[in-house]
Amino acid sequence: MATESENGEALPAAAIVAINQGRLIEAIRIVREAVPGLGLKEAKDRVDAYVGRDPMLKAQLDQQRAGARRKLIKTVLIIDLALAAAIVWYFFGR
């Protein structure tokens, strides 16, 4: 089963499921495997066109990206604080 994208090219159902789950890289891989000779840019363009047609899906993916970005920033800050504490302990705590 496939769904037509904006350009009239079909997306495999597995790619659509991956898109809806926020796994765009996997969706691009699935599209490339389904269409022989399709390049990375063309597969990405097809996935982007599919996402671009649905504002709700685009908003959902943007929200997931923002959440992942916040989580990454928190993790980096925690690691930085732990590293700073270790440096302070090493030079001043002995």
Q: Are 11 and 54 in contact (CB under 8 A)?
A: no
Per-residue pLDDT of the chain (94 residues; tens, 9 = 90+): 555 544 557 899 999 999 999 899 999 999 999 999 999 999 999 999 999 998 999 999 999 999 999 999 999 999 999 999 999 999 998 6
Structure confidence at residue 7 (pLDDT): 54
**Domain match, 13 and 43 both:** yes
Q: Which pair of tokens denotes residue 64? A: 């997931």
Return the sign of the alpha-carbon dihedral for residues 21, 12, 28, 14.
positive
Structure confidence at residue 6 (pLDDT): 47
**Domain match, 49 and 70 both:** no
Query: In terms of residue numbers, what domain contains 71?
Result: 66-94
Which amino acid type is present at position 63? Q
Structure confidence at residue 4 (pLDDT): 55
59 part of a folded domain = no
**Domain match, 47 and 11 both:** yes
Structure confidence at residue 8 (pLDDT): 56
Structure confidence at residue 84 (pLDDT): 96
Would you say how long the chain is, in residues? 94
58 part of a folded domain = no
Q: What is the pTM of this model?
A: 0.68
Q: How many domains does the chain have?
A: 2
Report CA dihedral (43, 49, 51, 55) to the nearest 10 degrees: 170
